[in-house]
Structure 1
Amino acid sequence: MIGCLVIHGYTGGPYELEPLTSFLQEHTNWHIKVPVLPGHGKKLSLEDTTYQEWIQAAENTLLQLKEKYERIYIIGFSMGGMIAAYLAGKHHVDKLVLLATAGKYLSWKQIMVDLAALVEDGFKGNLKRNKLYLHYRKKWGAVPFKANLEFMKLVKFTRKHLKDVHSPVLIAQGHCDSLVPYKTAYFLEKEISSKKKEIVFFDKSRHLMCLGSDKDTLNMLVYQFLEKEGTATESH
């Protein structure tokens, strides 16, 4: 039997990965767990949470899965990808999937493109139809500065442990991601010690790649990587 831990991103929740988790639940008999990290979810409460608590919550779920299941897969999105990589290095897992993983963050070039689009939509009166604006408007004012510091501490801490990862790994990244520069995928590949690594780029995907126009292709890619027998083959 297979246990699959799925870890959401910073200021997010399981909804960020819902199309993927639903696809896997429909096409497999795996036991899939998507814990809500402390302070996260649809209603944010991040003022008094720490990055250690976020990691511990994911690790507790992983240990529960390891007690019951012979094979373990971990899927991590954004900050959750860094937590996933850290846990894969600390505990043996059979396969690892990293989606838009925040080994580095903020693509200023893409941010300027997105801002230009926001300004244009604002002048045209179309701001309420801009998906990027609608998504992040809900979070503005709900994320304390202290929580952003905790996020940066988590990335700094987990980066040091990328070298400990030896599981076969799939790294997926969107070219239009303004929060995680697409070249981060190459950084992760270089730092991770696994012999079996795959990198796949999605030309149209922004940061929330599991909810974007490429989600069906992404779902199948992740499923095929995890389902295939043996280990991954290197691909660039």
Structure 2
Amino acid sequence: MNGCLIIHGFTGGPYEVDPIAQYLEHHTEWKIAVPTLPGHGETLDLRGKKADEWIEHAEKELQILLKECTEVYVIGFSMGGLIASCLTVKYPVSKLVLLSAAAYYVNPKQLLADIKDMIQDVLRGELTNNELYVRYKKKIKDTPISATYQFRKVVLMAKPLLKEIEVPVFIAQGKKDGIVPPKSADFLYEEITYKEKERYFSDEAKHLICHSDDSEELFEKVKIFLAK
């Protein structure tokens, strides 16, 4: 039996990656693990949580899969992609998938476009229907500065390790992502020197790439990449 660890992003939870987890559960017989990192989930409690705690929690889940499965794949979304990269260097992971991995963050051009859309929704009295507003208003309020520092610590820990990745890698990025710019995918593709690597850009996806209108195409590509 094969296994797949899927790691969500900063201030998020399994809901960010549930669509791809469910897709793989329906189309494979793999064991799928989607842990909730400390302080994350539907209700955030990030005060006092450390980068090391997030990595160690994902690490324990990976160790369980490695004991039970013949091959293990790791998928990481946003910050989870960086954690996945760290684990891939340390453990015998067979393949790595990076979704909107946050090697760089904040895409000014797309973020400005999203803010313009939000202003238009305010003028129309439809702000509560704006996806960006609904998803991030509470996150901003519930995310202490100390947690943001720990997120940056994960980025700094992961970047030097990218050149040490020696397994096939699939990198996916949304062109309309206002949080992680497309140059992050290009950076990852160049920094990871292992020859077996693929890069995919979604024309429709914003940051939550697993929830985009064209996500089925992405999921199929990921499944084929992991299964071949």
Give, in whole Å, the separation in 1 of the partners of 2:155 and 2:3.
Answer: 25
Displaced runs of 4 or more, over 4 A? none
Superposition pairs of residues 125-140 of structure 1, within 5 angstroms: 125-140=125-140
1:212 is aligned to 2:212: yes
| Equivalent residue, structure 1, for 2:169 | 169
Superposition pairs of residues 191-202 of structure 1, within 5 angstroms: 191-202=191-202
**How far has the Cα of 1:140 moved from its partner?**
2.5
TM-score w.r.t. length of structure 2: 0.98
Q: CA RMSD in A?
A: 0.8
Give, in whole Å, the separation in 1 of the partners of 2:193 and 2:31.
Answer: 27
Q: What SS is found at the alignment partner of 1:4?
A: strand
Listed as ranges, the gaps of 5+ residues in structure 1 are: 229-236
Structure with more of its chain in helix, by fraction = 2
**How far has the Cα of 1:160 moved from its partner?**
1.1
In structure 2, give the amino acid aligned to 1:166.
E
Q: Which stretch shows the higher mean deviation, 137-146 or 198-207?
A: 137-146
Superposition pairs of residues 1-236 of structure 1, within 5 angstroms: 1-228=1-228
Give, in whole Å, the separation in 1 of the partners of 2:219 and 2:143.
Answer: 30
Give, in whole Å, the separation in 2 of the partners of 1:191 and 1:100.
Answer: 16
Give, in whole Å, the separation in 2 of the partners of 1:203 and 1:135.
Answer: 21
**How far has the Cα of 1:193 moved from its partner?**
2.5
Give, in whole Å, the separation in 2 of the partners of 1:211 and 1:203.
Answer: 13
Contact (CA 8 Å) 1:97, 1:171: kept in 2 or not?
yes
**How far has the Cα of 1:139 moved from its partner?**
1.4
| Equivalent residue, structure 2, for 1:231 | none
Give, in whole Å, the separation in 1 of the partners of 2:106 and 2:197.
Answer: 24
CA deviation vs aligned residue, 1:38-81 (integer Å, no higher than 9, x gap): 00000100001000100010111111111111101000000000
**How far has the Cα of 1:138 moved from its partner?**
2.5
In structure 2, give the amino acid aligned to 1:215.
S
Percent identity of the aligned residues?
45
**How far has the Cα of 1:18 moved from its partner?**
0.8
Listed as ranges, the gaps of 5+ residues in structure 2 are: none
Give, in whole Å, the separation in 2 of the partners of 1:76 and 1:66.
Answer: 17
Give, in whole Å, the separation in 1 of the partners of 2:18 and 2:68.
Answer: 24
